[in-house]
Structure 1
Amino acid sequence: MNLTMLSTPTPLETNPDGVVLVGKTRVTLDTVVAVFNQGATAEEIVFRYPSLKLADVYATIAFYLNHQQEVEEYLQQRRQKGQAVREINQAKFDPQGLRDRLLARKASRSAC
C-alpha cells in the first residue's frame, strides 16, 4: 500500500478588514490561539465553537506552532489596532459622561 502525501492548504482566510478567520466561519485566528494557549484541546475548541471543523482546528494549531513568531506579531498588531480604536471611541464618546447621563435620565423617569 502506497500512501500519497498531499499538501492541504491551511484553513485560514483574511477578510476585507484584515482579520484572519478559521475555515468558512467567523471564528478568528486570535480566538483559536487564545483558547489553545489556555490549554484547550482541539476537541474542546470545536465544542466551544461548533461552527469550526475539527480538522480545521488541528490545521490552525499546526500552522500556529509552525509559524509562532509570525502569528504572535499578527496578534500583537491586532491588539494595538484594537487599543487604538478603543482610545478613539473613548475620546468621541466619554463613557463617564454617558453613564452620568443615563443615570440622570433613569432618575428623572422614576421621579414621574
Structure 2
Amino acid sequence: MLTLEIPTLPLKSDSSGTIRIGRTRVTLETVVYAFNQGYTAEDIFSQFPALELADIYAVISYYLNNRKAIDEYIQQQEKEAAQIKKQLESRPGYQAFRQRLHAQKTEGR
C-alpha cells in the first residue's frame, strides 16, 4: 500500500509578521508578484536560487487556492510599507539627505 506524506507549506512568518519562503529571506509577495507578472516557477527560481523549486510550486499552488486571503495580506503589507516610508520621509534632515544623494549621483555621471 502506498503511503503518502503530506508536505507542509514552506511559509514562515518572521517577528514582524512578514511571510517568508523556506529558510530564505524571500517574501511571499515577491513570488506572488512575479507569478502574477507571468513568470513561471522556473523563471522565479532562476532569479532567486536560494529558493527550492518545489517550494515555489507549493507557494504558487497555495496562492491559487487562497488568492483572496493572500491578496489581502499583500495589500496590508503594502499599506504598512507606505506608512513606514511616510514616517521616514517626515524625519528632520531627510530631504537634505536625499538632495545630497542626488547631487552625488549627478556628479558621478
Pairing 1:88–2:87 present: yes
Matched residue SS, 1:85 = helix
Displacement, 1:38?
0.6
Q: Find the counterpart in structure 2 of residue 16 from structure 1.
A: 15
Amino acid aligned to 1:17: S
Q: Alignment identity in percent?
A: 39
d(CA) in 2 for partners of 1:38 and 1:95? 33
CA offsets 1:61-90 (integer angstroms, 9 cap, x no match): 001001100000100000000000000000
- Go from structure 1 to structure 2 and tell me whether the alpha carbon gap of 1:99 and 1:70 turns closer, same or farther (over 3 Å shift): closer
The secondary structure found in structure 2 opposite 1:13 is strand
Indicate the structure (1 or 2) with the bigger Cα radius of gyration.
1
Aligned to 2:45: 46
Task: Find the aligned partners of 1:87 and 1:99 in 2 and give their Cα distance.
Answer: 14
Let me know the Cα RMSD of the aligned residues: 2.0
TM-score (norm 1): 0.83
In structure 2, the CA distance between the partners of 1:89 and 1:6, relative to structure 1 (3 Å rule), is same
How far off is 1:7 after superposition? 1.7
TM-score by length of 2: 0.85
Distance 1:93 1:64 in 2: 41
TM-aligned CA distance change 1:93 to 1:31, over 3 Å: farther
Q: Is the 8 A contact 2:32 2:60 kept in 1?
A: yes
1:39-74 per-residue CA deviation (whole Å, 9 max, x = no partner) reads: 111111111000000100000000100110000010
Task: Find the aligned partners of 1:6 and 1:30 in 2 and give their Cα distance.
Answer: 27
